[in-house]
A = this chain, B = another copy of it.
Amino acid sequence: MQTKRPQDTFIVMSELVLPNDTNTLGNLMGGRLMHWMDIAAAIASQKHCNCPVVTASVDNVSFALPIKLGNLLTIEAKLTRSFNTSMEVYLRVWGEDLSAQYKYLSNEAYMTFVALDPNGRPRKVPDLVPETDLEQKMYDGALRRRQLRLILGGKMKAEDAGELRALFIKE
């Protein structure tokens, strides 16, 4: 199984915010945005494993600025690390008012996907080899985020999360 680079999995998605995507104040609904983010992240994962994938988890997402009707939405997704059968994807989302020439970072997120074989069971994925410093940093952080997911999902005790511990304790 051939290793891949983060940039092999990179994908850009552009969407115009249409009326049905908005609430009564004319802002993009958070759930509609997460729907698009999920599709973008699924594509990035599929570019890595070349097989069907299923969403395993979404990390904390904060929505800073409302995105208005008619704005352009740009979603960038790229793998940060692959584990045995799962992959972590990093997403960045921009809103852009093309008439006002105003572009802003809307939010960032991490999502994880599991690769599936034709019977729908998890299958092994290729290794991901980071190239740039930033990619290496994100690769390293993936372990910590994975521990946090396991703790929040009740599958790991906090005191066993060595990687994460540093976040909370000045030693």
- Alpha-carbon gap, A14 to B16, bound state (A): 13
On chain A, which size bracket covers the interface? 35 or more
Residue A132, interface by CB 8 Å: no
CB neighbors of B among A95-113 (8 A) = 98-101, 111
CB neighbours (8 Å) of A158 from chain B are 167-169
- Alpha-carbon gap, A16 to B59, bound state (A): 23
- Alpha-carbon gap, A113 to B22, bound state (A): 15
Copies per assembly:
6
Distance (Å) between the CB of A44 and the closest chain B CB?
10
- Alpha-carbon gap, A142 to B91, bound state (A): 27
Residue A131, interface by CB 8 Å: no
CB neighbours (8 Å) of A30 from chain B are 38, 54-55, 58, 111
User: Are B42's CB and A29's CB within 8 A?
Assistant: yes
Known: A50-B98, A116-B25. A16 touches B43 (CB 8 A): yes
User: Are B167's CB and A50's CB within 8 A?
Assistant: no
Closest residue of chain B to A30 (Cβ to Cβ) is: B55
Residue A20, interface by CB 8 Å: yes
Known: A11-B14, A14-B11, A158-B167. A54 touches B66 (CB 8 A): yes
Chain A residues packing against B (C-beta within 8 Å): 11-16, 18-20, 22-25, 27, 29-32, 34-40, 42-43, 46-47, 50-63, 66, 69-70, 72, 98-101, 111, 116, 120, 148-149, 151-153, 158-159, 161, 164-165, 167-170
